[in-house]
Chain A
Amino acid sequence: MALLRLENVVSNYGSINALKGISCEVNQGEIVTLIGANGAGKTTTMHTITGLKELNGGKIFFEDQDISRWESQKRVKAGIVLSPEGRQVFPDFTVYDNLMMGGYLQKADTNAATLKTVYALFPRLEERASQVAGTLSGGEQQMLAVARALMGKPKLMLLDEPSMGLAPLIVKEIFNLIQRIRDLGTTVLLVEQNARAALKISDRAYVLETGKIVLSGSAQDLLNSEEVQQAYLGM
């Protein structure tokens, strides 16, 4: 059974078609990557899944329930949590308060327990717990954004460009963390420009081009595909 299933999803910005009928699915326990150039519709896809962007056609199913018309907060409650593009941590809040906002819909004792797991994954955030998030470095803010999403106890974690603007060493750390998060039982849907690194840790992938899925398959097959190599891996 697919955890998440998109059926012919259409999304417009005014008269511009950002998504022209996308169908894809994410199974329990997988890491699935969406790769594509700028403007292909990757972030729009993430936003329609979380409900930040309304659907103009098609359907979204989560655990076989039609969630197409659900409000964002209901989807978060159901277990779909996005770590957004550009981190978007709450700059005036401390690291700790940011994490607690991640667990906004959870009970206090659940949060206390999750916080331990999160601190084990991100020891640096524990050191900086009382620091204001706006003063963290870019890499730390990205860690915080991922950690904050984990606090929501997601069944499906959506990660939008987690490697954007980060130094290669930190990118490596982030991708390691994504694997560890999956190993802890969270399914991951990843959007990345850094296609090679993303494909290496993924089970399957979809290639998005101007609002349509043009290619899909196992991550290994895509890594070896000539088309992908030329267009996204720079070979």
Chain B
Amino acid sequence: MLFEQILNGLTIGSTYALVAIGFTMVFGVLELVNFANGSIYMLGGYLTLMVYTTMQGHFILAFILGVVMTGVVGFCLDRFALRRLREKKAPKLTGLITTMGFATVIDNVILLFFGSQTKPYPNLIDFGQFQVGGTTVNTSQIVILAVALLLMGVLSYVTYKTKLGKAMRCTAQNADAARLMGVNVNMVISVTFIISSALAAIAGTLVGMYYQTIDINMGFTIGMKTMASAVLGGVGVLPGAMVGGLLVGLFETLGASYISAGYRDAVAFIILIIIILVKPAGLFGKKKINKV
């Protein structure tokens, strides 16, 4: 029972981690809280479903197309809204409100096209279940964990080993100095939005398949939970978002099964409150030293 719950928690937590990584990357380069991240996650789930239904049977292709389309939406959010604000030197708060507005637009467009009812989602990654030492393991859990871990590995490699990743980290540390090195900061920001949206779309699709349903409210909850994950790990720190996401998923699953199922969604917020009170920089965050 406990092991099953741990596995459940890690599975759902790994999807939180994917969304939280995108959230934390955007925060890292722009110091912007992207409130649209949750809606983009939901959009990704719907887009994959839409492509899948229109072109019957080609799941992998539908998945890729859905993720790419969501990436383009993320790119547009930056290119046509946020970049203009940066060029006009608008205050950071304006960008934050813009992402909220963008979230509202996405939510309502989805509502318009798909309606407000919960929709069934085909689970194409379920190949049955098996027993490991008395614990029932679902193959979709294995697939989700594997995809999430693989993506985390790829992202860590890109961020820490490639030239693009170094440009991203420089932009995060000091955007003007990065510009002086010849880094195309706007390009770096665009790529960050594309990666972050694509990750959200992958997570949205995986979760849709895992629960076999999708509805328009799934974006809001995940937005809050990934924010909690990122804060838990330390906002702007990549490993922080990974560990934070896994822990939030784990805690809420354990909380739901051992305290009360009604507390599931509350757990993330309880973690958020505790972290802000006890260790505001998060588990992996650095304390900012202000040098005079």
Contact = CB atoms under 8 A, between A and B. Distances in A.
Contacts of B163: 104
A72 B179 contact: yes
B177 A90 contact: yes
A105 interface: yes
Given A104-B183, A152-B182, A93 B170 contact: yes
Interface string B158-198: 00000100110110011011111111100000000000000
Interface in A209-232: none
A76 interface: yes
Interface in A65-84: 71-73, 76-77, 81-82, 84
A91 interface: yes
B179 A52 contact: yes
B238 to A, nearest CB: 12
A76 B163 CA distance: 17
Given A90-B170, A92-B169, A97-B166, A104 B181 contact: yes
B17 to A, nearest CB: 22
Interface residues of B, number: 16
A91 B176 contact: no
Given A101-B166, A104-B167, A88 B176 contact: yes
Contacts of B179: 50-52, 72-73
Nearest to B176: A52
A105 B166 contact: no
A41 interface: no
A102 interface: yes
Contact of B181 (A51, A52, A152): A152
A20 B166 CA distance: 38
Given A84-B176, A88-B177, A90-B177, A73 B184 contact: yes
A161 to B, nearest CB: 15
A201 B176 CA distance: 29
Contacts of A102: 181
Contact of A76 (B166, B169, B173, B181): B181
A73 B188 CA distance: 12
Interface in A182-205: none
Contacts of A100: 166
Nearest to A87: B177
A84 B169 contact: no
Contacts of A84: 176-177, 180
Contact of A101 (B170, B176, B184): B170
* Residue of A88, A148, A149 ringed by the most chain B CB atoms within 10 A: A88
A104 B174 contact: no
B173 A73 contact: no
B177 A76 contact: no
* 10 pairs of A and B residues whose beta carbons are closest in the complex: A76-B182, A105-B182, A88-B177, A72-B179, A73-B182, A104-B181, A90-B173, A101-B181, A104-B182, A73-B184
8 contacts: A52-B176, A71-B184, A73-B184, A76-B181, A88-B174, A93-B169, A93-B173, A105-B181
Interface of B: 163, 166-167, 169-170, 173-174, 176-184
Given A52-B176, A90-B174, 19 more contacts: A52-B179, A52-B180, A73-B183, A81-B180, A84-B176, A88-B174, A88-B176, A88-B177, A88-B180, A90-B169, A90-B170, A91-B173, A92-B169, A100-B166, A101-B170, A102-B181, A104-B163, A104-B181, A105-B182
